[in-house]
Amino acid sequence: MFKHIKFDFETLHYLSKMQRIFAFIFILGTSPFLLITLLTIWIIEGETPVFMQERVGKDKTMFLVYKVRSMKSGKITFLGRIIRKTGIDEIPQLFNILKGEMNFVGPRPLTQSDIVRLGWNTKHYEKRWSINPGITGLAQLSPVCDAKISWENDQLYIAKRSIWLDLKIIWKSMLVPVIGKQRTKQLIHKEPNEHTR
């Protein structure tokens, strides 16, 4: 039913509202677990458990992204490894969706220094910032961390963006806490042309 529904203006407006509603529901559902995680980090590591950093959003508007802290003194902590493997560190970004700064699915939110480092600060890459960044996406779930592949995945997502594709990415992303991020990455990219259909 959703396979051929593209994102026109009315659909985008409707989906923006729906995403905020779902984000609010997920925040309520995960808040006890998130609170326990944050308290554990604060007690064991003695650090502020919420990490905030300025990122570049739609139309290159700056916003603060929220994540569960997984690093200390520039190194991933023991708890941080568990948090990253299960995707728990991404839960606070639901607040970014609630604020309309992010979507569930979209390109990875980058820092300004990331953009300069990758050389993505030219007009050739402007299309990447035509939509909200996402908690998950084709690039985030790529088994290979490579600038060229990330750019190709972002282009592919923007070109083929649909409700059906979003649902497929979200469904497979939900496997992260169950089978781990690496196994999920392998699963979502097992067929090269799977997301162009």
pLDDT on residue 41: 94
Residues in the chain: 197
Contact 14, 2 (CB under 8 A): no
89-102: b (≥16 Cβ within 10 Å) or e = bbbbbbbbbbebbb
Output b/e per residue, 44-56; b: 16+ Cβ within 10 A.
Answer: ebeeebeeeeebb
Residue 1 has pLDDT above 50, yes or no: no
- The pLDDT of residue 115 is 96
Judged on CB neighbours under 10 Å (0-12, 13-18, 19+), 137 is: buried
User: What confidence score (pLDDT) does residue 140 get?
Assistant: 85
| Alpha-carbon separation of residue 130 from 32, 87, 154, 156, 158 (angstroms) | 35, 26, 11, 14, 9
pLDDT digits (tens, 9 = 90+) for 15-48: 888 999 999 999 999 999 999 999 999 999 888 9
Instruction: Supply the Cα-derived Rg of the chain in whole angstroms.
Output: 17
Measure the CA dihedral 15/21/22/23, to 10°.
Answer: 110
Summarised one tens digit per residue, pLDDT across range 42-98 is 999 888 999 999 999 999 999 999 999 999 888 999 999 988 888 889 999 999 999
Nearest-angstrom CA–CA distance, 179 and 183: 6
pLDDT value, residue 196 = 47
Name the 3-class secondary structure at 59. helix
Which pLDDT belongs to residue 32? 92
Q: Where are the domains of the chain?
A: 9-196
Q: Is the pLDDT of residue 130 over 70?
A: yes
Q: pLDDT tens digit string along 163-192?
A: 888 988 888 888 766 666 666 666 655 654
More confident residue, 194 or 99: 99
Helix (H) or strand (E) holding 67: strand 62-68
The residues near 174 (Cβ < 8 Å, ≥ 6 apart) are: none
8 A C-beta contact, residue 61 and residue 48? no
